[in-house]
Structure 1
């Protein structure tokens, strides 16, 4: 199993650690537990507070079985959290025999998010009937809650006992399918057993500088040239923002001069270079690309790159080329790839790739769209997202344009 490598400056010395920093959530969990009644039913209790005052569309305790199935405690509440503690008590239910993970999940701006810690409990055989009666309360009385109707049925089972564990948190699959939200427990559509080693849900109010740089190889505030000489935009940190649960990479038609060359556009780019890089794994991002009619506009890209191009390789999970969603893998052996059939513009779509020794398999919205088996390198790569533009593709260029990213996640076996 290959671990993620992240870097951070400590006392002026570049040091390494084997974990990725977590992004700051809107909701902070103070305590979380599962309790059982004599009739074999269990309920969850969580005490939470807001990192700031935040209005939640839903607050619940999500549950996943060992095979990844959604078995959430019934019901959820809409509430407004302040910085003081609020206690949420779920409805009761019994669980078929097995081991389950559970964690706090919440919905804001039509997106589901999850919060550490993730804990586990083990249930005996049988099943039961879920009784939806969730509540949320706060000692100060500042938070209010409503109880949506929710029912589930099963057969009685023995009690469940809660114990702590440390898998990575995930986004509940109970989010409506129309939002395109994912569980986060595994990459969408990619088979195998995975654990998450890196992620950013973009839930805060600014870019997480422990994970991302906001330009291409420059100082924190520098405007930089593009990675590819065919691009028509310089990259400025001013075109990068985080808000409403998404990363925004904004392209503007604004002549910008860098290094003596004037580019007709300025745009946004982020890269994890120097902060997180990976050898093998599943890379996934949920992206809303700019569109031109039914085509993908501009040159939006989600990709990974090695330190020595092309020797170390370049893995293009997504790049919008000529209005289509395309994928490639570049190395000294060439740059094979292809474009997926169908429309991947004008809405949220999930773009992923499974990189392993000798192959990269590409998945769009959970469906395999291609595979490359030649020239696959093994050197570590860092992540890049950018809203590029190619002036020669005038038929699909649109400005201003906002490339939005709901999340970026990386898993390994």
Structure 2
């Protein structure tokens, strides 16, 4: 429980946060911090997250200091336990740029994320459509890439990072400034899949945001698009035309559908260029034949592999670091593979989709909900 929470001035025009918290029983926290959100949902968490043991006696936490671009922000206490980040009421606000006067707000308590989960070498997508290039978003000055669901950097990926994109899916609907809810189609249209091997069309009706997660729902519903009837319809989001990147660290925390101890269907988190395969395709995660796999497709081929271990039946973090000449893949913060051939350098946009492939019938499950806690992108 939060007994007190406030923001105060620090040297050099920066701010710091102070919180007093307690628990009804003794609990060891992996981390305790004060999280901050800008008006458009950007992450500006205070530095200095620390491990703590809470009990019935009040514990005081003081964050590190940081500067904020001019604007209004909400802030709240967040803590990590059992590898899951959670948030506490109250949610307060302050304004930076003129004077800093913290005031309580009626903003509801942010939804707590749930907890992390994840052989053939089939491409996650073989798009043939071409769209007009879009500018790569720039990072907001002084943005700290941290949030209640993760640390101040990509999980397991070393280096100094600045966050340039994020969506925590804490609202009640998809953020249309960041995502499209179908594959290269008009707003609200049902579209064909990126890959002709898929057995589902994509409809915005199968995309929703609730309980702090993006939901991509696959259901059995014969759907005809472009003269072809697909036995299923599912959910997909893409940042094409709204955000694209050249190099960086890309991470998403995902709860994939499961078939026993295996990953069901063909859930995917990937990036794609404007001209496939010339511009490249970076598959951070694709469920293939029950396994969690990664690939990089270009005119040079499609090398990749599948991670050992079980990445289904719970929340897991899937990430990749893309830099000149290589992509290194990280699942739950551990390196699971690296590709150093055929790596392209053209900008790519983000895609998440809950696909299904009839060739993997042994692990297919319908209906199935692919849940996404967050998507984040960092660059140096």
Q: Could you tell me the TM-score, scaled by structure 1's length?
A: 0.65
Unaligned runs of 5+ in 2: 21-31, 37-46, 68-73, 97-101, 110-140
The answer to whether 1:215 aligns with 2:215 is no
The answer to whether 1:275 aligns with 2:242 is yes
Residue from 34, 42, 49 that aligns with 1:70: 49
User: Counterpart in 2 of 1:166?
Assistant: 142
**8 Å contact from structure 1 (residues 327, 339) kept in 2:** yes
State the Cα deviation string for residues 212-271 of structure 1 (Å, max 9, x = none).
000000011100000000000000000000000000000001110001100011000000
Residue from 86, 99, 109 that aligns with 1:112: 86
**8 Å contact from structure 1 (residues 303, 385) kept in 2:** yes
Whole-angstrom distance in 2 between the partners of 1:231 and 1:262? 11
The answer to whether 1:263 aligns with 2:194 is no
**8 Å contact from structure 1 (residues 331, 376) kept in 2:** yes
SS at match of 2:310: coil
User: Counterpart in 1 of 2:198?
Assistant: 231
* TM-aligned CA distance change 1:304 to 1:222, over 3 Å: same
State the Cα deviation string for residues 112-169 of structure 1 (Å, max 9, x = none).
36999899xxxxxxxxxxxxxxxx99699x999xxxxxxxxxxxxxxxxxxxx83235
Rg (Cα) greater in structure? 1
Whole-angstrom distance in 1 between the partners of 2:198 and 2:108? 50
* TM-aligned CA distance change 1:311 to 1:107, over 3 Å: same
Task: Choose between structure 1 and 2 for higher RCO, CA contacts under 8 A separated by at least 6 residues.
Answer: 2
Post-superposition offset of 1:101: 4.2
The 5 A counterparts of 1:9-408 are 32-33=7-8, 44=18, 61=34, 70-71=49-50, 92=60, 100-101=65-66, 104-106=75-77, 111-112=85-86, 166-168=142-144, 170-172=146-148, 181-183=149-151, 185-408=152-375
Whole-angstrom distance in 2 between the partners of 1:406 and 1:33? 31
Post-superposition offset of 1:171: 2.0
Whole-angstrom distance in 1 between the partners of 2:59 and 2:240? 45
SS at match of 2:240: coil
State the Cα deviation string for residues 168-199 of structure 1 (Å, max 9, x = none).
35224xxxxxxxx422x100000110010000
Whole-angstrom distance in 2 between the partners of 1:76 and 1:201? 30
The alignment of Structure 1 onto Structure 2 pairs a total of residues equal to 302
Unaligned runs of 5+ in 1: 1-29, 37-41, 47-58, 78-89, 120-135, 145-164, 173-180
Whole-angstrom distance in 1 between the partners of 2:318 and 2:189? 29
Post-superposition offset of 1:362: 0.1
* TM-aligned CA distance change 1:62 to 1:253, over 3 Å: closer
Post-superposition offset of 1:106: 4.3
Q: Could you tell me the TM-score, scaled by structure 2's length?
A: 0.71
